[in-house]
Amino acid sequence: MTRDALRAIPPINDLLESPAALALAERTSREFARARARAVAGALRAEIAAGQLELEPAAVAAEAARRLEAEGRDTFDDGSGGTDDRLRRVVNATGVVLHTNLGRAPLSRRALEAVVEVAGGYLNLEYDLASGGRGRRDAHGEGMLCELLGCEAAVVANNNAAAVMLVLNTLAAGGEVIVSRGELVEIGGGFRVPEVLERAGCTLREVGTTNRTRASDYEGAISERTRLLLRVHPSNYRIVGFTERPTVAELAGVARRHGLPLVDDLGSGCLVDMRPAGLDEVRAGAALAEGVDLATFSGDKLLGGPQAGIVAGRADLVERVRRNPLMRALRVDKMVYAALDATLRSYCEGRAWEDVPSLRMLAAPAAEVRARADALVARLAVGAEPGLLRASVEDGVSVPGAGSAPGSEIATALVALEHVRLGSTEVEARLRANRPPVIARIERDRVVLDLRTVAAEDEAALEAALAALAGA
């Protein structure tokens, strides 16, 4: 029976001749219709073989046609298996505020509105409204960055990896760059300082040791081949114990004595004192004030804006970076400028802690998270099948994430889930399969949810997902 049903699945070429496929091809493309016909046939085969679908052989072709007919209407949410690469909003209940896999910083309302306002129409991206002629694209955001950081110039690239690449390639291609052995980091996603240096056309000159490097180590390595001194924020690890690292001021002294630029890859662009969130991170403005010639940092880590890489510092050096032909390949899109501009405006108006979601999340006191967790657990108890899903609130920790403050933990409250029938991995998987997906962590064999990273507007969806579990 199963074998006959499998044999009755029409060949792709026959399926493509069906009215449904022809109509789909007309509205989309022949290639697309073929791809969807393959997907429908594959799903039918899998379901029949697994015994999930029982069909008379004579009914199989009609079922295939019915599914192809539906294709045109709801192409991607058809549950026909395969990889689902559609971007969707997810509920981040992991407590990792700047979760690289979940898109890092959520944008502020103002940033979103700015994107909608400019991107839905035309804008003065490269147009000078005063003269009516061509304007500069690479100057957007520069004024605010300079005021916020106290520097002469700034330019925005696609991300911080691009910013570092641009700076190294501009200032040091064909020459040597001195880096401490304690800072030859791999950030993740393939960003390894030695490899980036090489690709930028520079030669790495390592100095010091993993745990101890002194200013004199840099000084001793300087030769006529040296082009710059590079400091790198060890974003995702910490060296503790018998350690030594020169201060920025000491390194700046060495750089100045030899007429070399000091570049600091700060990683996460921290524009304000982060102590209100309990984090001890160097402000970009402070690094520049201490003598860094060029600082590079991300727009979507502690800054809390869109993916971007900012190069800020001395005007002559920034100008050289701007003129690098690579800039054309690594520049940002109008939507990024709009979102960054609006985010920086929040900083300029002293409203960053209120406006920027990631800053708000980082600074939320544990008591506030606990109050939300208690309320959620109380709401779940109402109407839940008694005893199937137990939810309780306990102490735990959230983390900043994205290597933005290594080793930092933020006290939080967690909702711990225990299901009578389902194990923790099954509970985690069901939450992930929810629409919208809820991303949780497993701790001590229980699924835990950290409301610190769950936006208020996502709480209803989270509650519905939990209610479904409680009825499972």
Ligand X SMILES: *Cc1c(COP(=O)(O)O)cnc(C)c1O
Q: Which residues bind ligand X (CB under 6 A)?
A: 159-161, 164, 187, 191, 232-233, 235, 265, 267-268, 298, 309, 403
Q: In the bound complex, what is the minimum distance in angstroms from residue 111's beta carbon to ligand X?
A: 17
Let me know: does 134 contact 127? Beta carbons within 8 Å: yes
Tell the smallest beta-carbon distance from residue 136 to ligand X (Å): 23
For residue 44, the minimal CB distance to ligand X (Å) is 42
Max Cα separation, the chain? 86
Which pair of tokens denotes residue 25? 């091809």
| Three-state SS at 357 | helix
Phi, psi of 373, deg, nearest 5: -65, -45
Q: Which is nearer to ligand X, 18 or 268 (CB)?
A: 268
In the complex, least distance from residue 191 CB atom to ligand X, rounded to whole angstroms: 5
Least distance (Å) between residue 188 CB and ligand X: 8
Q: Which is nearer to ligand X, 80 or 298 (CB)?
A: 298
Instruction: Determine the Cα–Cα distance for residues 200 and 175; give it in Å rounded to an integer.
Output: 10
Residue nearer to ligand X on the CB measure, 80 or 268? 268
Residue with smaller CB distance to ligand X, 142 or 264: 264
Q: Are 450 and 369 in contact (CB under 8 A)?
A: yes
Question: Taking the complex as a whole, how short is the minimal distance between the CB of residue 164 and ligand X, in angstroms?
Answer: 6
Burial group, residue 47, by CB count within 10 angstroms (0-12, 13-18, 19+): middle
The Cα–Cα gap between 301 and 287 comes to 17
Contact 361, 108 (CB under 8 A): no
Position closest to ligand X via CB: 267
Decide: helix, strand or coil at residue 277: helix
Comparison of 191 and 347: residue with beta carbon closer to ligand X: 191
Nearer to ligand X, 281 or 355 (CB): 281
Helix (H) or strand (E) holding 73: none
Q: Please name which of 175, 224, 166 lies closest in space to residue 204, comparing C-alpha atoms.
A: 175
